[in-house]
Amino acid sequence: MGIFTYADLANFFPNRYIDRTQFFKINQLQTNNSEVQIIGRITSLKTVQQKRGSRLVATFADDTGSMELVWFRGAKWIKDSIKLNIPYVIFGRVNSYIGFFSMPHPEMELVKEYKKSLRTAMQPVYPSTELLGNRGISNRVMQKLIQTLYVEIKGDFQETLSDIIIEQLQLLSKSEAMFNIHFPKNQQLLTKARNRLKFEELFFIQLQLIRKKIIRKSKIKGYAFEKIGDHFNDFYNNNLPFDLTNAQKNVLKEIRKDVANAVQMNRLLQGDVGSGKTIVAVLSMLIALDNGFQAAFIAPTEILATQHYNAVNELLHDMKISVKLLTGSSKTAMRKVIHKTLENGELQILIGTHALLEDKVKFKNLGLVIIDEQHRFGVAQRAKMWMKNVLPPHVLVMTATPIPRTLAMSVYGDLDISVIDELPPGRKSIKTLHRYDKNRLGVFKFIKDEITKGRQVYVVYPLIKESEKMDYKDLMDGYESIVREFPLPKYQISIVHGKMKPADKEYEMQRFIKGETQIMVATTVIEVGVDVPNASVMIVESAERFGLSQLHQLRGRVGRGADQSYCILMSSFKLSDNAKIRINTMVKTSDGFEISEVDLKLRGPGDLMGTQQSGILNLKIADIVKDTAILQKAREIAIETLNKDNNLSLPENKNILYTYQMITKNRAIWANIS
């Protein structure tokens, strides 16, 4: 259970409490499954043989009736220790079978012991595992361990917050809170204890994040891009293919302000799929170039990097700017040219994949790194870009996975965040439909009609590591049935999946992009970033197997042109509750933030962000989904505290400083890299 020390034990909190002030009589038992406490005697014991092993059954009676107690495990030990016809307090869940009650594996205590032991009205129930239970570490044992600990330390805990905060928020002291979380005197004190501990937990996370930000802003020097020069102005005035949306303009202003200072920019740009992040990236890179710096633009996949490269080249084609693409499949000769021109500064913009992170890739003066679809990159990889320079380059991280506010605050509390919350004008909303597999013929008919109108269609299959073989089979079966339904030469079909060579993938992608094929059958490799405005239908096969953010990303592949677009979620008839919520959410809304909130609720934060590495979300008691109000308060107070005393050196903050140092003692250098 992760308990190694007294501190771990003290911070091992119950996950619920039961009211054990009340006793039931056997004739008061209700039909099902509630937890009850009864006083009675065991009148007889027998062992019943079953197909698999045996079970021990006791008859338990009080003055109103009788019931059975049942053990499937540990029968021998229990049989030897049980005393007949002596009063016991039993506690557990009751089952009923045709009006007769039984209780499997009750907690039992002799009444005379029960009366002696120290207990409060609300009994803590600690998290446990089956293995612990089997080894005899029952909840009773956990309670005893913690009681013993309390006696040992006399219930005295070091205060972690300042008197000012405790007073201002009317919090319990640390010792009171710790006592009441384990042995609540009543419901009200329990609530206060929980709130105090949640606040404390979130407060110290916020304190770390905000301090990090302050340190970054004051200590981590960066290059100042002082001017807006010819590259930017020329492009902005003569080559911009459309008017920027207001949201794009605002974000650009924020970025310009950041990079103008000799402090490293560390900005997260959130913008839903299709909101136009690429142009913001391009304009930002031009600012770097205007100031004599190089820029790098990194994408998670080769397809996407290539597409960015093409897009950037097209946008900048009238200008004398050198742009190159570097990916895993770049030829040696090209690599040599890139390495050389990058080092002598001739090459101004380098676009590519992870290949950019290799040590051989050395920039003359890298001023700006743009990372697209950030959730695919680990912290360590981002750190590598940081190490490529004397000073850290400015960093702009772009993501199309909207992050709920609460989560952004807890995980990215140290980053500056920009949001593009407006789509370019003229976009039609995408119609999202849910269809069962048995409606497939209707769906095929619909695809034919759309193709007749000149549109293109994606058909996407899930691909999950654990069931990779099956998934490829599904993909190939699906592909074959589509080929049958849409025969050559009238229809041309592309297929792209992870087992293909990059060059073949690229070839197939290009055929689709150029409009030579009408249908693209693919696994989720197309999830990120692919831009084919003429594609107007997205069919997601086995949609129930996709996560919400993936579905949202996939849907974002269509609706990029002027035509009405559709997203059709295909599923089997039987759906889990969770899958139903996901599919219904997709049908109901296209707001990325709303979708991400639902996603957060369904999946929990760690899973959503893949941030286990940061450890920040290993919360012991607070819940970032439910405790938003406390989180907000914690952030507010953390900011206030640091504004007043940014080194926590005032005497009044002594407790906070001590705790802060304990928490941060062993943190690695990653702390500075967002």
Residues that bind ligand ADP (CB under 6 A): 242-245, 248, 271, 273-279, 400, 424, 531, 560
C-alpha distances in Å from residue 124, one per residue of 1, 39, 438, 450, 473 = 17, 20, 50, 61, 50
Can you point out the beta strands (E) in 242-393? Answer: 266-271, 294-298, 323-326, 349-352, 366-372
Rounded to the nearest whole angstrom, what is the least distance from the CB of residue 274 to ligand ADP in the complex?
Answer: 5
| Cβ-based nearer residue to ligand ADP, 274 or 392 | 274
Rounded to the nearest whole angstrom, what is the least distance from the CB of residue 243 to ligand ADP in the complex?
Answer: 6
From the list Mg ion, ligand ADP, none, partner contacted by residue 554 (C-beta under 5 to 8 A by kind):
none
Given a contact cutoff of 8 angstroms between Cβ atoms, the answer to whether 461 and 522 are in contact is yes
Rounded to the nearest whole angstrom, what is the least distance from the CB of residue 271 to Mg ion in the complex?
Answer: 8
How far is the C-alpha of 62 from the C-alpha of 40, rounded, in Å? 5
| Cβ-based nearer residue to Mg ion, 357 or 398 | 398
From the list Mg ion, ligand ADP, none, partner contacted by residue 194 (C-beta under 5 to 8 A by kind):
none
Rounded to the nearest whole angstrom, what is the least distance from the CB of residue 462 to ligand ADP in the complex?
Answer: 22
Binders of Mg ion: how many residues, by CB under 5 A? 1
Rounded to the nearest whole angstrom, what is the least distance from the CB of residue 279 to ligand ADP in the complex?
Answer: 5
Given a contact cutoff of 8 angstroms between Cβ atoms, the answer to whether 539 and 447 are in contact is yes
Tokens of 35: 């937890």
C-alpha distances in Å from residue 670, one per residue of 34, 56, 243, 407, 532 = 49, 56, 39, 19, 38
Rounded to the nearest whole angstrom, what is the least distance from the CB of residue 149 to ligand ADP in the complex?
Answer: 54
Rounded to the nearest whole angstrom, what is the least distance from the CB of residue 278 to Mg ion in the complex?
Answer: 5
Q: Determine the interface stretch with Mg ion among 110-118, 319-327, 359-367, 525-533 (rule: CB under 5 A).
A: 525-533
| Cβ-based nearer residue to ligand ADP, 184 or 274 | 274
Q: Report if residue 276 touches Mg ion, rule: CB under 5 A.
A: no
| Cβ-based nearer residue to ligand ADP, 209 or 397 | 397
CA 234, 235, 239, 243 dihedral sign is: negative
Could you please report the per-residue DSSP string of 109-171? EEHHHHHHS---SEEEE----HHHHHTT--HHHHHHHHHHHHHHHTT-----S-HHHHHHHTP
| Cβ-based nearer residue to Mg ion, 309 or 363 | 309
Rounded to the nearest whole angstrom, what is the least distance from the CB of residue 561 to ligand ADP in the complex?
Answer: 8
| Cβ-based nearer residue to ligand ADP, 123 or 248 | 248
Nearest residue to ligand ADP on Cβ basis? 276
Q: Report if residue 274 touches Mg ion, rule: CB under 5 A.
A: no
Rounded to the nearest whole angstrom, what is the least distance from the CB of residue 529 to Mg ion in the complex?
Answer: 4
**Cβ neighbours of 581 (radius 10 Å):** 16
Nearest residue to Mg ion on Cβ basis? 529
How far is the C-alpha of 13 from the C-alpha of 235, rounded, in Å? 59
Q: Which of 228, 366, 239 is nearest to 284 (CA)?
A: 228
Binding mask 475-514 for Mg ion (x = CB under 5 A): ----------------------------------------
How far is the C-alpha of 551 from the C-alpha of 544, rounded, in Å? 10
Tokens of 300: 């998670």
From the list Mg ion, ligand ADP, none, partner contacted by residue 531 (C-beta under 5 to 8 A by kind):
ligand ADP
How far is the C-alpha of 102 from the C-alpha of 69, rounded, in Å? 6
Rounded to the nearest whole angstrom, what is the least distance from the CB of residue 20 to ligand ADP in the complex?
Answer: 56
From the list Mg ion, ligand ADP, none, partner contacted by residue 245 (C-beta under 5 to 8 A by kind):
ligand ADP
What φ, ψ does residue 106 adopt, rounded to 5°? -70, 155
| Cβ-based nearer residue to ligand ADP, 59 or 310 | 310
Beta partners for 266?
395
| Cβ-based nearer residue to Mg ion, 376 or 435 | 376
Q: Report if residue 300 touches Mg ion, rule: CB under 5 A.
A: no
State yes or no: cis peptide before 402, omega within 30 of 0. Answer: no
Could you tell me which residues come within 8 angstroms of residue 225 by beta carbon, excluding any fewer than 6 positions away?
A: 259, 260, 287, 288, 290, 291, 293, 367, 394
Rounded to the nearest whole angstrom, what is the least distance from the CB of residue 178 to ligand ADP in the complex?
Answer: 48
Q: Report if residue 529 touches Mg ion, rule: CB under 5 A.
A: yes
| Cβ-based nearer residue to ligand ADP, 253 or 499 | 253
Rounded to the nearest whole angstrom, what is the least distance from the CB of residue 400 to ligand ADP in the complex?
Answer: 5
Rounded to the nearest whole angstrom, what is the least distance from the CB of residue 401 to Mg ion in the complex?
Answer: 12
**Cβ neighbours of 84 (radius 10 Å):** 11
Given a contact cutoff of 8 angstroms between Cβ atoms, the answer to whether 356 and 326 are in contact is yes
| Cβ-based nearer residue to Mg ion, 94 or 403 | 403
Tokens of 151: 């006696």
What φ, ψ does residue 274 adopt, rounded to 5°? 80, 5
Q: Determine the interface stretch with Mg ion among 57-65, 359-367, 455-463, 524-532 (rule: CB under 5 A).
A: 524-532
| Cβ-based nearer residue to Mg ion, 276 or 462 | 276
Query: To which residue do tokens 């100031």 refer?
Result: 291
| Cβ-based nearer residue to ligand ADP, 87 or 424 | 424
Given a contact cutoff of 8 angstroms between Cβ atoms, the answer to whether 299 and 372 are in contact is yes
Could you tell me which residues come within 8 angstroms of residue 335 by beta carbon, excluding any fewer than 6 positions away?
A: 326
| Cβ-based nearer residue to ligand ADP, 304 or 630 | 304
The footprint of Mg ion (CB under 5 A) covers 529
